[in-house]
Structures are given as structure tokens and as C-alpha cells.
Structure 1
């Protein structure tokens, strides 16, 4: 009987395996589904995920986008940009709403611009005596730069120093001027004193980098990137039933290592490490453009400077976004870990119109296909859109197209008073129906790209959370592409999949 060595056969098999592995694992089972976790708060900052990241910022109450209201102590009414901007500043409002909010642009820890409702900046009227307060300029310069001086005994009481060196004072409800020399006390008889209320904050990438400034921000951010997500996290993920990560990135990553100010370089290097770790532990990666130029939703997680949503207002922001997608896909197309690229996270309707979104999604899809025929292309539904299938026409005829939906039993008053069982019923009934609507046999694949086992229920038990998480897993695993928990690490325990797994709340 002849003896045939198996070594050549084994070598050929191994070679075939390595070739398949190196070129994207294209022979995945058709039943494969993503069970992912988001690496939120890592390469795109969200202050609520890791508040300590902001602890060292000087004068951190006054970061970019902080919304301030000022009530005159002498007339007892709020400063207001008349008509929302374009004319004078008055002090005649008994209650504060949109026109009475002044959003900060931080120049440094003591100097600021004030942006009003219609996006103009507060400044001095240069056409008159140079002391009347107006909001007419679309750009901010030295004549629109102010200082806020707080009372050391009561920090809610402030004075505002104008660029001419004088303080603002309220002479009448219709006349606010910058001609008070100072020297008075902080009592209710001083026309230069205001009671300040912080009516909103942002803690995103722009705030943290501009807050620390160009000298300190690079060190702070590099330390954060190097310690918040590490190789052991990928090992933990792979050992606990998670097969993919969705990594939020910001548009500035494509300009690394010298991104536009105030952003700092280094996030691309961190993303490179993620791909190395993912390949080592057999984890797939979904790159997610979480923060687009100009902000696609005005929220801190899209790195909005002041809450404005300006992505799509110009063709430049769309083209720049396509360039980012092109850059990222070209860089990682040959990595066996690249599984999908998400073109945009949570664009907000109606500011992000369906027409502009379709234009961008088509261009982004084509950019990805220039470099990869196997990467899935994920397109996020708009926040606030009434039709969950509105992206079906743009995905028609596209290969490996995925629609991303986000499901939270939060952020709406309908969940405020729900019991444990009512929340679970909502998942089983309402979310099932919503997911069925977008999951069709001949349409795009579906991804529940963000969900969390957190709710509005107070004093819920461990078992309550376990049941809630189990219900979501059972429903969301029906999504044809898969799901991704938000997020891996978080100071809020139930938002941290790492904590939830280690403490027995979720088992995959």
C-alpha cells in the first residue's frame, strides 16, 4: 500500500485559508450576523461617557456652546437679541427662551464671543457711538469679543466686559450700552450686574480640545486614546460573544496628524491600533463617521461647536465628508477586519433634507466601491424622520447596503412612566413592528446600530434589567445585518457593556 504524505495537502489548505483571510474573509456564512459593541467616547469625545476628561480645563463652565441667560438685576428682565438677531440687544423679556440664549464661542479661558439665535454675533454698534449693543455681524472678531467677570462670593452674579474696556449696563429695557466704568458693588442697584443662568452645555470633541488649548490638548487626548480602549478590551470582546465593534470617528481624522484647530492629531494612530487588535482576535470593524463637517445634528457627539447643524448647508461639507469616507476606505480596504463603513451617524431631520442625504449617500457609496467590493455600506436613518423606509429608493440596486436604525427606550416622554413590563412589552410589540417594517426580503439589510439596556424605570432590580436586556437581544437579533450595543465603557454602569457582562446583566 502506497503512503502519501498529507503535508502538501495541509500546506495547500493553509495557503487557501490565509489567502481568504487576507482578502476580507469573503466566504462568510450567509447566516453570519454582527453582534457588536460601540466604542463610543473614544475617538469622538462625549463628556457624559467620561466626565473626568474635562476636569482639568480652566474655567470649564464656559466651554464652546454653553448657553447663557442674563437677567438684569435693576430692571428684573432678561437680555434678548431682538428678532433673534440682526438688530439691537434689549433687556425687556420676563421669561427666557430661544432669543434670550447666548451661546459661547471660547477664544481662551477668559475671552468669548456670544452667538445669538440667528447665528449672528453680539458686538458694539460701530456706526454710532460705539457703545450700543447689537447682534448684526455674521463673523466674530475683536469687536465681538467679551469677558465674563464673576462675583467670587456668588458666581451666578456677573458683569460683562466689552471690547472697548467698559462693562455692559442696562439703562432702560430698550437700551443696553457698554459704557460702565465699574467700581460698584454686586447689589441689585447696580445696572452692570446680571444674574447668569447656564441653560445648556456641550461636551464634545470641539469643547475638550478648545477648552484645554493647543499646548495641553495634545497630551490630554493622546493619553485618553491610549488608555480608554486597549488591546485587552478586544480580547474581552472576543471571549464574550461579541464579534464586531462599531467605531465612531470624526471628520478631522482624515487630516491626521495635523487636523484643523482645535482638533489634535493622534486619533488615526489609535484607529490603526484597533485594526491590529481586531485582526489578532478575529473581531470585525464597522467604521462610523459619527461627526461630519459642520455637524449633521447639532449635538455634542457630532462635535458641534455651539449646537448649530450646518452639515449639508453647503456642498463643501458634503464633498468633504465623501473625502473622509474615501480616505478611510482606501486606508483599511485590505484589512481582513474591515467589515463595513457607515457613511453618517444620526443626521437630524429636517435640517438634513432627504435630497441632500441621498446625494451624499450615493457619492459615499461610490467612494467605498472605488476601494472595496466587499465592505458593507451602512446608511443611517434620520433622527425625527416619520418614514423609516425613506432610504429604500437610494439603496435600490446597491450591493451590500445596510440601513441603520437606533432604538432607545429613552429620550421621549412616552417612556417616563412605563413600568418594567410595559417597557418589555414595548420592545416585543412596538420595536418588533418597527424592525419588521425596515427588514424586507428584497430590500437593504438592517442594523440596530445603537441600543442599550437602560430605561426610565426607577429602583429596577438586577432581574428587571436582565429581562429587559434579554427582550432586546431576542428582538434585535432578527435584524438582518445585526446589532451594536451602546457602548463598551461608560461611567454609567448600564450603558457599559463591559460592566453589564462582568456583572451578569447580559450574557451572549
Structure 2
């Protein structure tokens, strides 16, 4: 009897000890999920589990999940949330977790922004604080939903391609720094763990009709007071090459090429980003992310050279990047023919996809 009692007691003690240890393991987690080095792609609303599985097999470690056509809320009053969109996000996060591909959450479009794919300085969003309040409440909801999702959440991509005037007025709805501060505060009230990604704005001069690209936005951005951030830029320069013949037919623009007396090649691409490069070298603890870059797939070997140059510049300066876009639109689809616009058949060894996969291999190191 005494032997049995002793065995039971010993088993109980071991069970308590084991449970305590397990409890400690369950509560052990990093204080923050910091931004990693990412090489990936942009994806859209219709992404499937098979797409994520295929993406993981390619070696990509990031998908920037953009939801311009399946927004998280209605674009008109009363701006009701669409639970189906939040459920899709949960599915994408689950797939990302299962296959080892992190997800950068990019809502892409909000009430007050009139264009599906970009934000314009003329949008009501930049003229009325009510749209900022809508956005603040939305990010509180989304961050609260994702706060405990772990490192599958690469970060929160607050705005897509914001545009501000060269004479941006402080403390007005066009004050992007004020908006970023408000959004940061709102998110950190519910999630102190995940990276916040701030899109650099493009800057428009109404008098000269000159638009400066996102890289130049570093000169007006006030870096938020937060220790887990990332800065985002997009590389669509020169636009006559990167956006040719998408909406209407025109003359073919090569790459490298001369436009208005400027030779656009790798050296010029890097020169155009000199302000951001200088900032990045001065602040190596603040990661930079090239969130979008591409050219129409039918730009052939010129497009291949352009993609190579953009990626090589990013790699040189230790920037993460995401190609635009994977199985989202046949204009950019890397798994398709690189010369024939009318051939939208996906092929396993498409040149553009092979090029991207050659860089994805670096994720395994």
C-alpha cells in the first residue's frame, strides 16, 4: 500500500512539474515580431491555398496581400465592415502559416479614395478628417484581430501609394505625418508586437506639374516614434516603360532608353533613389521595402533587364522586395509568355518566373 501511495505521489509531483514547464513554454514568446529580410510577391483577393503552396515551393517568403477589389468595408456610407473580407484574411494567414510564407496586410483602398489601385492627392480622403477617423477605427479592429497571429504577420501596410502636394499643410487632412502618428497610436493600443509599414508618399507640384516618385518622399516623412517600423517605396520608373500599352496601344518603349535626354538604366535607377539610399545607410536599423515593381510581361528581355536592375539595387542596399504581381493580372503575371501579349497560358519555366526564383533562393540562406 505504501509503495502504491508513493508511486501515485511521485507521479503527481512529476505531472505538476511537467505542467509548470509546459506552461512556461506556452507563455514564452518574443517581445516583438521584427521585420525580416523578405523576397516575395504581391497577391490579390482571389489567391487560393494552392497558390500559396505553389508560392512556397518557389522559395518566396512573403506575400503582400492587397485587397483593392475585396475591401474590408463598403466604400460608401455607412462604411459597413465586410466580414467575408476579414474571413478571407484569416484563411490567407492560415495558409501562410501552414506553408511558411509571411503575409504583409495591405488593405490598399479605403473610403475617400477614388481610385482602386492608388491614392490621389485630389481624393476626398486628403480633404476631410472623417476619413482619417474611419481608417483609425478600421486599423484598431484589424490589428486587434491579428495581434496574436505570430510571425506569419509580416506587418501592417497602412497606405498604398499616398500622394501629397509639395506644399503639404501641417495639421490638415493632407498631413501624412499626422495621420501616421494617429494610426501608430491606434494600432499600438491593441498590438505592440508587429511591424508597422509606412508608405513613402509621392509628391506633386501643381505649378510645375512635376510628380516626384516615392523615393523622394523620405525628405518629407517624419519617422514615427516606434521601434518596430519599416519604410515602403515602389519602383515604377521610368513610367513610359513600366506602364506602356496597358490601357491603350502606343509605340514601344525600350529599356534601357533615353527619355527627355536622360538615359534610363541601372545607374539612373539608383541615382533616382539617392535620397532613400542615403537615409538607409544612415539608419540601417530601419528596414526599407520595395513593395511593388514591374513592367508589362510582354516587354521581353527589356523587362527582364529592368527587373534584374531593380532587384540588384534592392539587394545591394539590403532592402526587402515584392514583385508585382503573382497570379493577379495577366499584365504582370510572371508565369506567362514575355513577348506575346495575347498568350496568357501559364508555363512552368517562364523566363520571368525563373528569374524571380533565382533570387528567392537567397531566402533559404
| Short-chain TM bin | 0.5 to 0.7
Q: What is the CA distance between 1:428 and its match in structure 2?
A: 5.5
Counterpart secondary structure, 2:310: helix
Given candidates 378, 383, 401, the residue that maps to 2:197 is 378
Change (3 A) 1:283 1:354: farther
Relative to total residues, which structure has the larger strand share, 1 or 2? 1
Is the CA contact (8 Å cut-off) linking 1:36 and 1:245 kept in structure 2? yes
What pairs up with 1:35-74 in 2 under 5 angstroms?
A: 35-40=39-44, 42=45
Is the CA contact (8 Å cut-off) linking 2:235 and 2:310 kept in structure 1? no
Change (3 A) 1:399 1:263: closer
Pairing 1:327–2:327 present: no
Q: What is the CA distance between 1:253 and its match in structure 2?
A: 5.0
What pairs up with 1:300-449 in 2 under 5 angstroms?
A: 300-301=116-117, 309-336=123-150, 337-350=152-165, 353=168, 355=170, 356-384=175-203, 386=212, 387-395=216-224, 397-412=225-240, 417-420=253-256, 423-426=264-267, 429-431=270-272, 433=274, 435-442=276-283, 444-449=286-291
Is the CA contact (8 Å cut-off) linking 1:38 and 1:245 kept in structure 2? yes
Measure, in 1, the Cα distance between the counterparts of 2:270 and 2:200: 21
Change (3 A) 1:339 1:349: same
Measure, in 2, the Cα distance between the counterparts of 1:348 and 1:367: 22
Change (3 A) 1:390 1:325: farther
Pairing 1:236–2:54 present: yes
Q: What is the CA distance between 1:301 and its match in structure 2?
A: 2.1
Change (3 A) 1:433 1:259: same
Is the CA contact (8 Å cut-off) linking 1:449 and 1:484 kept in structure 2? yes
Instruction: Give the TM-score normalised by structure 1.
Output: 0.50
Corresponding residue for residue 200 of structure 1: none
Counterpart secondary structure, 1:379: strand
Corresponding residue for residue 209 of structure 2: none
Counterpart secondary structure, 2:222: helix
Change (3 A) 1:353 1:12: farther
Is the CA contact (8 Å cut-off) linking 1:326 and 1:368 kept in structure 2? yes
Measure, in 2, the Cα distance between the counterparts of 1:14 and 1:487: 42
Identify the structure with bigger relative contact order (alpha carbons < 8 Å, sequence gap 6+): 2
Change (3 A) 1:335 1:308: same
RMSD over aligned Cα atoms: 4.0
Q: What is the CA distance between 1:327 and its match in structure 2?
A: 0.9
Change (3 A) 1:485 1:504: same
Q: What is the CA distance between 1:299 and its match in structure 2?
A: 2.3
Measure, in 2, the Cα distance between the counterparts of 1:17 and 1:234: 30
1:325-383, CA deviations, whole angstroms, 9 ceiling, x for partnerless residues?
Answer: 11110001100211211111111222994632111100111112112222111111222
1:40-79, CA deviations, whole angstroms, 9 ceiling, x for partnerless residues?
Answer: 4x2xxxxxxxxxxxxxxxxxxxxxxxxxxxxxxxxxxxxx
Change (3 A) 1:252 1:434: same
Change (3 A) 1:250 1:453: closer
Q: Across the two proteins, how many residue pairs are aligned to each other?
A: 299
Pairing 1:284–2:122 present: no
What pairs up with 1:156-305 in 2 under 5 angstroms?
A: 228-249=46-67, 255=73, 260=78, 266-295=84-113, 298-301=114-117
Given candidates 310, 321, 329, the residue that maps to 1:472 is 310
Q: What is the CA distance between 1:318 and its match in structure 2?
A: 0.7
Given candidates 448, 451, 458, the residue that maps to 2:293 is 451
Measure, in 2, the Cα distance between the counterparts of 1:12 and 1:452: 52
Given candidates 346, 351, 355, the residue that maps to 1:504 is 351
Measure, in 2, the Cα distance between the counterparts of 1:370 and 1:417: 49
Measure, in 2, the Cα distance between the counterparts of 1:326 and 1:287: 14
Measure, in 2, the Cα distance between the counterparts of 1:365 and 1:238: 31
Change (3 A) 1:327 1:233: same
Corresponding residue for residue 483 of structure 1: 321
Q: What is the CA distance between 1:446 and its match in structure 2?
A: 1.4
Measure, in 2, the Cα distance between the counterparts of 1:237 and 1:33: 17
Flag structure 2 segments of 5+ consecutive residues without an equivalent: 1-18, 205-211, 245-251, 258-262, 339-347, 361-365
Relative to total residues, which structure has the larger helix share, 1 or 2? 2
